[in-house]
Chains A and B, each alone.
Chain A
Amino acid sequence: MSAETTAGGPDSQGRFSRATAAVRTGDRGRRWLVTAGAVALGLVLATGHWMGLVLGGAFVGVLQRDLKRAVLGGLLFGLVVLGAFVLVAPRLEAGELLALTPAAYVTLGAGLGLPLLGSLTRGVV
């Protein structure tokens, strides 16, 4: 418990804030690189649970310079998720997925909406 408390405590929050702030204010190349890492991490998390989509959106969002860019980043992350999902699934084609309504509505809605929701975290930090 103590380790968790420490990890989530004021110090670590401060370090996280300082680190993300450094990315946000740093040069564009570094920001893109870290954002790419956040996208990759988000994709990995999304394969385990749908909350990974929220987290992925949040990771991408907090690295952006303002809330507007964060929301845009969240949406782009969602598109990347959907594109990667269709590409990676061995037997799934985009047309097949889109035809598979109403289930596809949930997939598209979750793919775009949950990262967007997560990206709003940028407005909190």
Chain B
Amino acid sequence: MDYETTRRAVLGALVAGGTGAAALSPAGGLFQRFAPFSGRAWDAAERVPSTVESPYGPATITYDDYHVPHVEADTEEAAYFAVGYAQAADRLFEMDLVRRRMRGTLAEVAGEQVVDSDVFNVRMDFLGAAEASAEAIAGTDTERMTEAFADGVNAYIDEGPLPLEFGLLGYEPREWSVVASLLVGAQVSWGLTGSFRTLQRAVLRDRLDADTYRRRYPARLDHGYPILRPDRVGGEVHGVAGRGVEAASADARVGDAVDADFADWLGRFEPPPYLGSNSWLVAGEHTASGQPVVANDMHLTLMAPPVWYEQRVSAGGVDVRGVAFPGIPFVVAGENDHGAWGFTNTGADVVDLYTYETDDARERYRYQGEWREFDTETRTVEVAGGENREITVKKTVHGAFLDREVDGEARHVGVAWTGMSGTRESQAIHEFGRSTGREDVLEALELFDAPTQNFVYADREGRTLYWTTGKIPIRRVDGEVVRGDRVFDGSAGEAEWEGFIPFGQSSWEGFVPFEDKPGVVQPSYIGTANQRLVDDPVYPIGQEYASGFRGTRIYEELDAAVEGDAAVDRELMQEVQRDTVDVRARTLVPAILDARDRMPDAADSYLDAMADWDYRLDRDSTAALFFRFFYEAFREETWRDDYEDVGLDNTYWPQEWVLVTLPPDDEAFGGDRAGVLARAMERAVDRLEAEDWEVYGDYNRTVIDHPFGGQVGALNYPRYPTDGGSFTVMNFRKEGGAGSSQRTVYPMDGETVTVLPGGNDGSYFSEHYDDQLRLWADGEYRPAPRSVDGDPDITVEGKSGEADG
């Protein structure tokens, strides 16, 4: 064979072999997704089709300057089809991610790393809970609108370019459905009320002596700013017993102590701790204009794209604008022609835990003197690139049954959660949008079965309202009402929730009656920030509330505004939302300065800065930067040894209110708080000297990432300096990845302003992917008009003959 022939053969083999090998190897799959032009991932760079056909009738979608869709139609069905189309165009991947997470099918596309979460969610049967909720709203207008919404989503899946993330992960979404929307609702509810705190408390009560436990985990934090201050709030107050102190305010009682490893295992599946929010309203009697003003910023996970999707829907006499969770058709918090409403998390205890006597095979459990089979079902968790898992889902009369071997011993707990029943909150939020004033809203609130929330409302006629949403169980043991902060004896049927049917339709008769939940008709002003609701509720409400730092600041500001000469208007409410005073610092810094003679010389400049500090966590503050790291060291110095001695990690440490108010001679300080402060100071100085930060804003920069930003860094939002911290009204929790998920102020006689921590369009290729982030970081706002100019961006054409829907 001559050289030329050999050369041809080699090159021929290279071309044919190279192409064939690429086609048959994983490279071929990558080329199919990412090759220029033909790669499926790049479909996301195409434009959304500007017309779509709908069986529900015509509608238009017009985006405003911040890519907020204004959906206009003659009928609500036609509008909600268009809402589904718009949400899918902008957030389909986010919607699908939540659906997969709650169904326990995320590992099917994301692989081994999320298997544990999938298995937990399957065993909790969130899908069964969503199906029960679908049954609860069957036959209502809400179901019809949600069906139209699902059809709109599916029209987009059929016709629109799929978001980039589907190409990156290499899968396509399945059809959307009513149950899928309700799964999103279940995630929200579990995220806000899911808790295994009771188990942690049981472990703590077991490991600490009774006095220490009581001091560090008091039933009530003694700040003076509960949400409901009967002597100041005005209006018609509900849910206060009039006894002066909470009836069941004793420290937690403990049933069967539960193993810490088991509690820690379940703790891994708890929603992130301390998700909170701020909301308040001031009635017209205290405002400059004579009309009420409502302010709301909800603190949730900060992520790219944001947890909220802003939308306006105008149809059938309803005109509502606000934020919805992607996948939920309706505005959750927002305003319409008649009023505005907002939420904060209540912290009510709506999860109870039970233990049972079980047989040796663990196939039956004892219940009220009889052996019962577990309600059992086998499901498969599919795992991309890994081994699929066969999961046995077990249930008892109370709800889910979670078991696990710990050190060769079987541990278990039965879980009852109000959200496991059919719940109608989707109907409630739909009705909020349709409401024509306070009376309509009060009626809709009775449908709001979950989650438990502090709800504030004002209408344009000057009426105001505060109410607690959600079903709250009443537990009785031996005829006495008790708190839910212990593990109950499930076999004895102890403290069961009367009228509760998990994964079915509850009658709720054993729950706190609507009129006995904390509420006020026509409050003159009220502030909520996840602190305790009221000193003296008719029934026990919560197990653990926020420390009250934000609640304190909001009331200090509102009290001063109402009592002083300041004009209470939108601008003032924006100022309060931007408040960065850290009450921890205000409480602790005097003690730090008092201990100055024990501090190292290297701390002098920081101590000088703190001496002149206004306790604000502002980006240009050196004192704020130092306090941030001082406080972290102070916590460590105070708690770490104590808790390591009893085998518990930092997730068991007390709340911050407890730490900053501990007496200086408390045993946690070894009787010498000044010494602990000095050691913390030394650590903080060492830490800061190892870093390049000069002021708080050098450290306190936004970290708002995409769920797959670890793999594709470009999807993460840029980093900007910002103000505030975990315990300030202007809220940003850098380490926790949480903070103000929106900020909105609704004056009832003026222009609403708002901002999102990112952008409304979830497409990486969109100019609106992160166009609000800088505004958010800087504490600025933009208008949120309920009208829009210009031609529609998307025209929904009604298909003739199918419009009956």
A positions within 8 Å CB-CB of B: 43, 46-54, 58, 67, 81-82, 85, 88-93, 96, 99-104, 106-107, 110-111, 114, 117-118, 120-121, 123-124
Contacts and interface: CB of A to CB of B under 8 A. Distances in A.
B37 A46 contact: yes
B15 A82 contact: no
A71 to B, nearest CB: 11
Identify which of A43, A49, A89, A104 gathers the most chain B CB atoms within 10 Å of its CB.
Answer: A89
A96 B35 contact: no
B174 interface: no
Interface string B35-67: 111110110011100000000000000000000
Given A102-B712, A123-B8, A82 B41 contact: no
A58 B15 contact: yes
A36 to B, nearest CB: 18
Given A89-B45, A106-B39, A124-B8, 13 more contacts: A49-B38, A50-B31, A52-B37, A88-B37, A91-B763, A96-B764, A96-B765, A100-B714, A104-B34, A106-B33, A114-B35, A117-B18, A123-B7
A124 B11 contact: yes
B590 interface: no
Nearest 3 interchain pairs by C-beta: A123-B11, A50-B35, A85-B36
B47 A100 contact: no
B714 A51 contact: no
Nearest to B10: A123
Interface in B1-31: 7-8, 11-12, 14-15, 18-19, 22-23, 28, 30-31
A96 to B, nearest CB: 6
Q: How large is the interface on B (under 10, 10 to 19, 20 to 34, 35 or more residues)?
A: 35 or more
Contact of A124 (B12, B42, B713, B765): B12
Interface of B: 7-8, 11-12, 14-15, 18-19, 22-23, 28, 30-39, 41-42, 45-47, 167-168, 711-714, 763-766
A92 to B, nearest CB: 4
A60 B763 CA distance: 36
15 contacts: A47-B37, A51-B19, A81-B37, A91-B47, A93-B765, A96-B765, A103-B41, A106-B39, A107-B36, A117-B14, A118-B15, A118-B19, A120-B11, A120-B15, A121-B11
Contacts of B12: 121, 123-124
Given A102-B712, A118-B15, A107 B765 contact: no
A103 B45 CA distance: 14
Contacts of B19: 51, 54, 117-118
Contacts of A93: 765
Contacts of B38: 46-50, 52
Identify which of B45, B47, B712, B766 gathers the most chain A CB atoms within 10 Å of its CB.
Answer: B45
Contact of B36 (A54, A67, A102, A110): A110
Given A51-B19, A92-B42, A106 B37 contact: no
Nearest to B13: A124
B426 to A, nearest CB: 33
Contacts of B39: 50, 106-107, 110
Contacts of B15: 54, 58, 117-118, 120-121, 124
B36 A90 contact: no
Given A100-B714, A120-B14, A110 B35 contact: yes
A117 B45 CA distance: 27
Contact of A51 (B23, B30, B36, B46): B23
B38 to A, nearest CB: 5
